[in-house]
């Protein structure tokens, strides 16, 4: 949140977020502005504690989740609830609820390295700090995706939207210091603006905007019976338009009011039977440009409502005698709204038909491409078959050549052996020949010398 309204000693105040600074603005004749916190990196939320002091929670520039208490002497006392060493972590979308001595802090945890994955976390501090990771939200929409409220016994109730194959809105409650198993409230192509309210009988009232073909404002109730299980009633459509914004449930004099913005106009639908049926939507006189959906806190309670810059809430006419009800049909809107719905629906159908034609063309193109690829696959199979046949032939030839080669190598070894034997024989013959030559030479020398000597004698 970036704005919280409060009232102290009959004076109206407003906590505002301005450029990393949280200021306290006083409305009225003696208006003024006081800077309270100068290191806020995110939005904030505020609540009164048991001592009726204002407590503010926010994410600081130093990567801390901080609880700041404004004491009676107008001094801020800060307490670090948790510190993040990882600089890629960013925290926002705060929600602060204080019940008795329990301080509940809800927030979104972003990781810049994985921006599509958002964690919805819950910190509870009552002397010790406990951290609950409620859900992994695969959703990057900017609009608020969760709403939390507490009943008269201090029990927390939460609805949140996440993206799976489609978008779903889930409900869970905090009992015995733990969150119960989630229950699917609705499922659609798109879901936004969840809002929850608990009445004095602990019945749970939820409204939201969902879209399949056209945007519809939906309502659903969970009755107490067999707490905490209870039972869910059927979904009710309160309005249908592409311009529905920021629905909010209020309980006024035991009647359930659902108020929203549509075509720059406030509309409301009222149920006087606990949410079993609603009146047909009707316009309010005030203009949305003068109001915004904010949180208003008091020392003993809090609520989300439409309020103007001076802190005054959107007025509701509690005289409902002239408001007609229709329990069987919720499409009994004004004629122009019905015409708008039919016109929008026709455009949606026309767009769907165009998309269908486009998809059929793409399908035909893909079918043609698949046919060509199948032909190519058949050709490839034939080529592969031929390749395998040729490979078999070449393998046989290679085997034959290997056999011939082996035979040649064997013959070559034999020839090498024969050559070596011949070489040995040649060496022997050469040796004998040399011996004979030497012997003949000696004989000649002897005959020369000994022959001459004999003649002399």
Least confident of 123-127, 324-328, 383-387: 324-328
Residues 185-240: tens digit of each pLDDT: 999 988 999 999 998 888 999 999 998 878 899 999 988 654 555 688 899 999 88
Report d(CA 24, CA 44) in Å as an integer. 13
The pLDDT of residue 330: 40
Residues 78-109: tens digit of each pLDDT: 999 999 999 999 999 999 999 888 899 999 99
Residues 403-429: tens digit of each pLDDT: 888 888 888 888 888 888 888 888 888
Strands of the sheet with 40-48, listed across from one edge: 40-48, 54-60, 64-70, 76-83
pLDDT band of residue 143 (cuts 50, 70, 90) is low
The pLDDT of residue 324: 43
User: Residues 99, 150: contact at Cβ < 8 Å?
Assistant: yes
* Alpha carbon 199 to chain centroid, angstroms: 32
The pLDDT of residue 421: 86
Among 123, 117, 10, 107, smallest CA distance to 58 is for 107
Over residues 273-301, mean pLDDT = 86
- DSSP-based three-state secondary structure for 278: coil
The pLDDT of residue 139: 61
The pLDDT of residue 454: 47
Among 309, 289, 304, smallest CA distance to 26 is for 309
Residues 262-281: tens digit of each pLDDT: 988 899 999 999 899 998 88
Q: What is the mean pLDDT of the chain?
A: 84
- DSSP-based three-state secondary structure for 407: helix
Among 284, 253, 257, 285, smallest CA distance to 270 is for 257
Whether the predicted pLDDT of 326 surpasses 50: no
Among 112, 67, 104, smallest CA distance to 88 is for 112
Question: How are beta strands 3-8 and 292-298 bridged, if at all?
Answer: parallel
The pLDDT of residue 95: 94
Higher per-residue pLDDT: 10 or 384: 384
The pLDDT of residue 339: 64
Higher per-residue pLDDT: 423 or 158: 158
Q: Is the pTM of this model over 0.85?
A: no
pLDDT band of residue 293 (cuts 50, 70, 90) is confident
Residues 357-370: tens digit of each pLDDT: 888 888 888 888 89
């Amino acid at each position: 949140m970036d704005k919280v309204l409060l009232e102290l000693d009959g004076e109206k105040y407003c906590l505002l977020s301005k450029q990393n600074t949280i200021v306290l603005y006083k409305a009225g004749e003696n208006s003024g502005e006081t800077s309270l916190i100068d290191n806020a990196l995110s939005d904030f939320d505020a609540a009164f504690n048991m001592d009726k002091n204002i407590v503010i929670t926010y994410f600081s520039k130093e990567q801390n989740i901080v609880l700041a208490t404004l004491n009676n002497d107008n001094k801020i006392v800060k307490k670090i609830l948790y510190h993040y060493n990882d600089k890629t972590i960013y925290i926002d979308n705060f929600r602060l609820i204080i019940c008795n001595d329990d301080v509940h802090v809800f927030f979104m945890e972003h990781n810049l390295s994985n921006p599509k994955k958002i964690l919805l976390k819950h910190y509870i501090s009552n002397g010790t700090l406990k951290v609950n990771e409620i859900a992994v939200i695969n959703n990057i929409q900017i609009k608020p995706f969760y709403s939390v409220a507490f009943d008269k016994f201090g029990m927390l109730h939460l609805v949140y939207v996440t993206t799976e194959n489609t978008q779903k809105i889930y409900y869970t409650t905090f009992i015995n210091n733990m969150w119960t198993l989630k229950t699917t409230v609705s499922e659609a192509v798109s879901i936004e603006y969840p809002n929850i309210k608990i009445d004095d009988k602990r019945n749970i009232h939820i409204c939201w905007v969902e879209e399949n073909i056209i945007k519809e404002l939906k309502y659903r109730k969970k009755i107490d019976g067999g707490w905490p299980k209870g039972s869910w009633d059927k979904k009710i459509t309160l309005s249908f338009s592409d311009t529905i914004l920021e629905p909010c449930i209020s309980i006024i004099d035991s009647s359930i009011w659902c108020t929203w913005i549509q075509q720059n106009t406030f509309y409301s639908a009222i149920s006087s039977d606990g949410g079993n049926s609603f009146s047909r939507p009707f316009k309010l006189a005030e203009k949305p440009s003068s109001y915004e959906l904010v949180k208003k806190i008091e020392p003993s309670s809090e609520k989300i409502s439409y309020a103007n810059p001076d802190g005054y809430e959107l007025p509701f006419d509690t005289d409902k005698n002239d408001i007609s009800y229709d329990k069987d049909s919720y499409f009994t809107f004004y004629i122009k709204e019905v015409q708008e719905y039919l016109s929008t629906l026709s455009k949606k159908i026309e767009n769907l038909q165009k998309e269908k034609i486009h998809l059929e063309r793409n399908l035909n193109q893909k079918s043609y491409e698949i046919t060509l690829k199948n032909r190519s696959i058949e050709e490839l199979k034939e080529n592969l078959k031929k390749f395998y046949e040729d490979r078999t032939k070449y393998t046989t030839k290679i085997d034959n050549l290997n056999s011939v080669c082996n035979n040649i190598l064997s013959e070559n070894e034999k020839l090498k052996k024969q050559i070596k034997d011949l070489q040995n024989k040649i060496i022997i013959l050469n040796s004998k020949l040399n011996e004979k030559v030497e012997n003949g030479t000696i004989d000649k020398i002897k005959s020369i010398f000994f022959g001459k000597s004999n003649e002399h004698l």
